[in-house]
Amino acid sequence: MVVRGAPAIGVSAAFGMVLAHLRGEDLEEAEGLLRQSRPTAVNLFHALDRMRRHLGDLKGSLEEAKALWREVEETERAISRHGARLLRGQVLTHCNTGPLATGGFGTALGAILEAHRQGRVTHVWVDETRPYLQGARLTAFELMKRGSPPPSSPTTWRGSSWPREGWTRSSWG
C-alpha cells in the first residue's frame, strides 16, 4: 500500500493522470491501470471520471487535479468543524482517517483534532491494528504531532471495555 485512504487515493489518481500527460504516456492505458489499482475506492473512480474530461489537455488536467484537491480539503475542514461539536471527553477512533489518509486535513480524525484543539477532547484511544498496525500507528503519530499522545489498545479490547468505561463517542474510518 503506497497510498491508502479513499480521499488520498482519489487525489493521487488525479495527479497520476497529470503525470501521465507530462510523460507522454497513453492516457487511456494510464487511466485503465489506475482504475484497476483499487477497485473498491469510490474516490478513485470519481477522480478519474473528472480527469477524463481533460484527456489530451495538460493544462486542463492540472487545473482539474488542483481543483479536486482543494475540494477534498474544503470538505475535510467542514467535516472537522461540524464533527468537533459532537465530541467531548474520551473518544475512540478506529482506522486512520487523518491527514496521511486523506487529502490533507483529515475526516473523522480531523474532527477529533479540531475538538482537541478546542479543549473538548481530553483523551483519544486508537485501536486499529490491521493490516500493518496502520490505524493505531499512523493515528498515534498524527495525534502526537498535534500534541495529544494517545495510548494504543488492541482491537479485541474495544468491545469488552467500552460499555464499562463511560465512553461517550467514537469515530469510525
How is the chain split into domains, by residue range? 6-78, 85-172
pLDDT, one tens digit per residue, over 78-89 is 999 999 999 998
Q: Which CATH class name applies to 85-172?
A: alpha beta
Consecutive H or E run containing 107: none
- Yes or no: is domain 6-78 CATH 1.20.120.420? yes
> If you average pLDDT over residues 63-69, what whole number do you get?
98
Helix, strand, coil % over all residues of the chain, rounded to 5? 60, 10, 30
Percent of residues, the chain, with pLDDT higher than 90: 49
Task: Yes or no: say if 101 and 8 are a contact pair by the CB < 8 Å rule.
Answer: yes
Residue 99 has pLDDT above 80, yes or no: yes
Task: Give 53's pLDDT tier (boundaries 50, 70, 90).
Answer: very high
Residue 136 has pLDDT above 70, yes or no: yes
Q: Look up the pTM and report it.
A: 0.81
